[in-house]
Amino acid sequence: MIRVTKCVALSLALLSLVACHGGAKSNLIPVKFQTDWYPQPEHGGFYEAQLKGYYQQEGLDVTIAPGGPYIVAEQQVSLGGAQFGMSSSDRILDAVAQGQPLVAVAATMQHDPQGIMMHANSPVHKFGDLEGHTIAIKTGATWFQYLVARYHLKNVHETPATYSIANFLQDRNYIQQIFVTSEPFFARKAGADIRTLLISETGYDPYRVFFTSQSYVKDHPDVVAKFVRASLRGWRDYMADPKQVNDELLRLNPAMTPDQMQFTWQALKDGHFIYPDDDPSKDGDMQPDRWAALDHQLTDLKVLRRSIDPATAYTLQFISAGH
């Protein structure tokens, strides 16, 4: 999920996306879905559901609104600018603790593909080895706070992430935050010999989720069920064969390449990010014990502004209907 922006090409493509899908049809319920970045394979199942008409079959006219570095899906949904959004379970817990009435309705990914990347000859082989090193990360990253506490790091320095691998390629000591589904492709293509470590392997393991507001669940449970059902159906199809959607993603986001998209799709598949136990019938699954464990971690880190019941941040009622 490399954060490189080709603004002109993307703007034209995204305007095309809104023009094609933004108008509500009289016999369908209009729904806006706010993603967390520009169109990419990590969103593949939603675009699959749209391209194959699964949302329309459920009576929904879904507009997929691309995200970007300055768009916060949680705010969009809590303020009513969108009915659904993409996020992660730690961010949803934090939002609820801040008073935003949000609720996750299904998992997009069972594990977060965030990690760190270093050169193959780096002395950093495990997270505890970060002591004394500098790492480029997004400012305020909760997972980094967890690493510092978990591994008792006293002398590790942060530098702002640039959403690029340019500095990494120029500096053999450079370590940076990545998504294992994205940046390794570009680094290896540029000739770098690299290694990666997944954050989820430390015990800090949020879901990637899609969510809505608590009031929308209460007032429109039928719409939520339809959206979840069509979306999970789309993900099963996309993970079986990504070609049609990848062709569409390339049209919508010309900054990508076919090789890059194939790498990401394969990384999602090989990394077992989408299905628990590699079982497509369990897509979207979320477990209460993982939400409780994550809430406990965030409380220990003093990330949450107030104590909450983690069960208020998610619901399992729509997942079974999506299978």
Q: Specify which residues 102 forms β-bridges with.
A: 213
Domain boundary among 147, 169, 202: 202
The answer, as to whether pTM is greater than 0.85, is: yes
How confident is the model at residue 323, as a pLDDT?
66
Q: Is residue 1 part of a domain?
A: no
Q: Specify which residues 114 forms β-bridges with.
A: 179
Range of the domain at 191: 114-202
Q: Where are the beta strands (DSSP E) in 156-272?
A: 157-160, 176-179, 194-198, 208-213
Q: Are residues 92 and 143 in the same domain?
A: no
Q: Is residue 43 part of a domain?
A: yes
Residue keyed to tokens 């002591």 = 131
Q: Are residues 156 and 130 in the same domain?
A: yes
CATH number of the domain within which 299 lies: 3.40.190.10
Q: Is residue 2 part of a domain?
A: no
Q: Are residues 107 and 157 in the same domain?
A: no
Per the structure, how many domains does the chain have? 2
Give the C-alpha separation, 180 to 196, whole Å: 7
How confident is the model at residue 25, as a pLDDT?
62
Give the C-alpha separation, 229 to 45, whole Å: 11
Q: Specify which residues 160 forms β-bridges with.
A: 137
Give, for all 323 residues of the chain, the pLDDT tens digit: 444 434 434 444 444 444 345 444 679 999 999 999 999 999 999 999 999 999 999 999 999 999 998 899 999 999 999 999 999 999 999 999 999 999 999 999 999 999 999 999 999 999 999 999 999 999 889 999 999 999 999 999 999 998 899 999 999 999 999 999 999 999 999 999 999 999 999 999 999 999 999 999 999 999 999 999 999 999 999 999 999 999 999 999 999 999 999 999 999 999 999 998 888 989 999 999 999 999 999 999 999 989 999 999 999 999 986 66
Q: Are residues 94 and 224 in the same domain?
A: yes
